[in-house]
Structure 1
Amino acid sequence: MTSRKNKRVKKLTFEGVEDDNVQLTEGANISPYGASRGRSPTPSRDGSGTEDEDDPASLTLILKELRGVGKEVKEFRKDTKSQLLEIRGELDKANARLNDVETRVAEHEDKLQNTDEILSEILTMQEKLQTKLTSLEAYSRRESLRLYGVPQGAESGAPSMAHFVEKLLRENLAITPSTSLQIQRAHRALSSLPPDGSQPRSILVKFLCFTVKEEVLRLAWQKKGFMWNSSKINLDHDFPPEIMAMRKEYAEARKVLKEKNLRFRTLYPARLKVFFEEGAKTYNTVEEATADLASRGLSGGRAGQPLIRRSVVRSQAASWLHAKYPWARY
């Protein structure tokens, strides 16, 4: 017998019954898993079939297994800690990049706002400059007029276009020989030669004196044009292309007014004055004329369609900016 003091402890078996026959040496480590895994009970010295708890070899084996489990747990914790540190580092990097992105987005939003304001200001300035440019071009054309309806090639027998135009005006507008027309130059519109049977190109006439040009126009308008060789000849101012485009938008309205025998006048730069029975009314835009004439029952074109097709006349720069930056305020 050993001299060590034994201590009786109660141990729960797998069936949940207390076993009072188990004795462990005081100070021995008890495995929470009971007997060693994968081992069959070792017969005791007395042949009862149970392991002798006082066997040092059994306790050593249990301690060895416990140390192995502890080592595995320690390594697992070490690996987990390393992985957590790595994940934390990646999260820190992601947060840093996210903060940088937020800062840059805020800066770009500020720049975009400034760009939007600058672009709006540029468009406003461009419109003003375009208006001034059109006005200057119209001023440079104030001594010029255009003849519409002169057949193509009618001037071929004259010494020059200026001689042909002067003779044409004197004969049909009753201009006295004592009145000097002072035609500086005259030529056809600089466009491609139209095919046979189509509208002939207009003739541009440049006078030296503005008052002479105005007098010629006054005489022509009083007669509402004139007939020459079975052709209707009309005279009008020489407008810049931008103003001509705006005035052409009233073409459908003028056609309808002529069909209804209503007198009208196209005012500078692009306004329409209509003389109704109750009085005259002036329209400043095509849209305004469309709405009012439609409300009066004056419609033209195909049934169910608006009288005038709405169009917006822009300069090339404004059109390009609008197409590229549709979100701009202007």
Structure 2
Amino acid sequence: MPGKARGRGGAGSTGLHTADDHSESEEENDLRLDDILHEIKEFHAETGKNLGVIKQEVTELRESFGHLSMDAAESRIAEGENCQNAMTKALLHSMRLEKQLEERCEQMESHSPKCNVRIHSVCEKITERGDMVKFVKEIIRDKLGMGLEKISIAAAHRIGKKTRTEDRPRSIIVRFQNENMKQRVLRAAWETKDLKIRDKRIYFEEDFTDRIYKERGQCGRKQLLEKNIKSRIVYPAKLKVFEKDGQYKLFDNPQAAAEGVQAYGVMVDIQAARPDFETTLKAAGWQTAGAGKKRTRENEDELMASVKTLLDSQNRHGKDND
């Protein structure tokens, strides 16, 4: 019996110890959970703080890169403006030089034909194998009634390429020894009415530059002659139309002549004038800061510096592209 009592007592004692252990274990678990939750909260707070710092640093980086991009863009824009300015100066300078050269060539060309006369509409078969100088002298003597004692011709020949048709024979250019001889022959030719060779009308006129000939050809005089309307070209390219009542109309340029001859039933096509690119560029805003200044050594140095800047910029961009 005593043994059983001890056994039951021992068993009971063992059961009470297990319940206490379980209670203590739950308390320890609760403490651990509280610690974990506390640590999680601290970690969350610290993480949020770190994320705020990172976000601020990222924002600062973005702003820094933005400033760098703007600086680079502004630098490229400024470089482009400088390049455009240099191109403008070089282009305008080239145009001015071209215009000056054209004017000089025109002036030199206008001096060369001072002693020349052109004869138009002479059939080429007449002079195909003959002496042209002798032929012209015969026209002056037989058709104009002038003596040849004081007429000296230096040269005479056809000009231009030979055409396949006889409708438009090449003109004959005649060079006299001096301008006085030329003027005498021209006056005699203009005073001679109905000047013909083999029943075909021929014409004498002064020799001009190619530009003046183009302008004179646009005045419509040929069409007026076809309508039996008397007219005359006045130097350099003015059209004088004679009326039946003895009056006349004078048109100062080919454009005015083309518009004026429409009243006589004549239509003339005017070729478009060559555009003035310098004026066009200036009108489009291609104006440099030094435009309009008197040409000086300093301006030329500035121009050469601009051209050098332009070439350096092109070379630099070429290396970047490579």
TM range (shorter): 0.5 to 0.7
Name the structure with the higher strand share.
Answer: 1
Aligned: 1:188 with 2:154: no
User: Of the candidates 128, 141, 148, which is equivalent to residue 170 of structure 1?
Assistant: 141
**Structure 1 residues 299 and 228: CA distance shift in structure 2, 3 A:** closer
Check 1:188–1:260 CA distance in 2 against 1; reply closer, same or farther (3 A cut).
Answer: closer
Report 1 or 2 for greater relative contact order, CA contacts < 8 Å, sequence distance ≥ 6.
2
Residue in structure 2 matched with residue 214 of structure 1 by the alignment:
183
Contact 1:150 1:202 in 2 (8 A): yes
Distance 1:287 1:117, change over 3 A: farther
Q: Is the 8 A contact 1:225 1:235 kept in 2?
A: no
Q: Does residue 270 in structure 1 map to residue 253 in structure 2?
A: no
CA contact (8 A) 1:256 1:300 kept: yes
Task: Give the structure-2-normalised TM-score.
Answer: 0.66
SS for the counterpart of 2:202 is strand
- Letter of the structure 1 residue corresponding to residue 155 of structure 2: R
Tell me the residue number matched to 1:20: none
Aligned with residue 64 of structure 1, among 36, 40, 43: 36
Partner of 1:96 in structure 2? Answer: 68
Alpha carbons 1:287, 1:310 under 8 Å: kept: no
**Equivalent in 234, 237, 242 of residue 206 of structure 2:** 237
| One-letter code aligned to 1:71 | F
Residue aligned with 1:146, SS: strand
Q: CA deviation at 1:221?
A: 1.2
Unaligned runs of 5+ in 2: 1-18, 292-322
Q: Please state how far the C-alpha of 1:69 moved relative to its aligned partner.
A: 5.2
Call closer, same or farther: CA 1:94–1:244 in 2, change over 3 Å.
farther
CA-based RMSD of the aligned residues comes to 3.8
Query: Which residue pairs with 1:139 in the alignment?
Result: 111
Partner of 1:311: 272
Q: Choose the corresponding residue for 1:300, options 266, 276, 281.
A: 266
Aligned partners of 2:232 and 2:240 also within 8 Å: yes
Letter of the 1:288 counterpart: A
Change (3 A) 1:198 1:77: farther
**Contact 1:267-1:273 at 8 Å conserved across structures:** yes
Amino acid at match of 1:271: K
Query: Whole-Å Cα distance in 1 between the matches of residues 98 and 74 of structure 2?
Result: 35
More deviation in 134-143 or 148-157?
148-157
Question: TM-score, length-normalised on structure 1?
Answer: 0.65
Whether the 8 Å CA contact 1:184–1:208 is kept in 2: the answer is: yes
The one-character-per-residue Cα deviations of 1:142-185 (angstroms, maximum 9, x if unpaired) are 11111111112322342x32222222332211121433x21111
How far apart are residue 64 of structure 1 and its match? Answer: 1.5
- The CA deviation string for residues 67-120 of structure 1, in whole angstroms up to 9 with x for no partner, is 235435644654564465345434423333323433443454366457546655
From the superposition, tell whether residues 237 and 87 of structure 1 become closer, same or farther in structure 2 (CA, over 3 Å): farther
Q: Is it true that 1:282 corresponds to 2:250 in the alignment?
A: yes
In the TM superposition, residue 122 of structure 1 has moved relative to its aligned partner by 5.3
Deviations 1:231-256 (A, max 9, x none): 22111111111111122221xx3245
Q: In structure 1, the residue corresponding to 2:69 is in which secondary structure?
A: helix
Instruction: Answer yes or no: is the 8 Å Cα contact 2:230–2:241 preserved in 1.
Output: yes
d(CA) in 2 for partners of 1:279 and 1:119? 50
Residue 114 to residue 188, structure 1, CA distance change in 2 (3 Å): same
Matches of 1:271 and 1:135 in 2, distance apart?
19
CA distances 1:293-330 after superposition (whole Å, capped 9, x unpaired): 55xx44434xxxxx54352047xxx67x7999994579
Percent identity at matched positions? 21
